[in-house]
Amino acid sequence: MSRRRDTAEFDPATWPEFDASALTASQRTTFQARRTAIELYSQGTSIGEIESLIGINRRQLYRLIDRCVEPHEHGRPFGFRALVRYSRVASYQRVIRVHVQATGGCRGTAGAFGAMLEAHPALLDWIDGITAGDYPFNTERLGIRSLAAIVRARVLQSFAGSVAISQPATIVPWFHCTFN
């Protein structure tokens, strides 16, 4: 089965340019090989020829193409910038459920706040409406203690909430995080 892309969807000539001069010599060599492979592919060169000329196998080439055509947050394709090693074309997405350590701390909670906002879009809409004048984002701890006190008071208003908050494993992780 051929994975040849439609030329309207795949046109490297329309991609944003990338200045490879800032890369180290070895990074520049890798980038240039990847770019050449993509350009050859867009000109109709067979996959077999690209594999033998450049040394990039077809799976890697298809993965690189997919990265290049991925839309940037500004709407245009990532283009050749996606060929730089370790460049990110997608934002971090938490895929497993948050497991809070009984001893507290912040380990294993990466992306938990973003996942919560994704699960509750109304919170994100509400946060978008807050300005610096509405909330103390300019303080050292960003008002986290005040927010924690309000949340704790709300939870303690019901018996079920009081029981839940008294169990260490069910306490919200950011109550125990330290901010440096």
Confidence of residue 57 (pLDDT cuts 50, 70, 90): very high
- CA–CA separation, 97 vs 169, rounded Å? 14
The whole-number pLDDT of residue 106 equals 65
Q: For residue 100, which amino acid is it?
A: V
Give per-residue pLDDT as tens, 87-143. 877 776 777 777 766 666 666 777 777 777 788 888 878 877 777 667 665 566 666
Residue the block writes with tokens 């492979």 = 37
Structure tokens that stand for 59 in this block: 């799976």
- Smallest CA-to-CA distance from 116 within 178, 180, 173, 179 is with 173
Strand partners, 77: 71
**Lowest-confidence region among 31-35, 104-108, 145-149:** 104-108
The whole-number pLDDT of residue 132 equals 65
Who's near 104: CB < 8 A, 6+ residues apart? 168, 171, 176
Measured CA angle at 64 (ends 63, 70), to 5 deg? 90
Distances in Å between the alpha carbon of 18 and those of 9, 42, 43, 61, 78?
Answer: 20, 18, 20, 19, 10
Q: How many CB atoms lie within 10 A of CB 105?
A: 13
Q: Is the pLDDT of residue 179 over 50?
A: no
- Smallest CA-to-CA distance from 48 within 32, 61, 65 is with 61
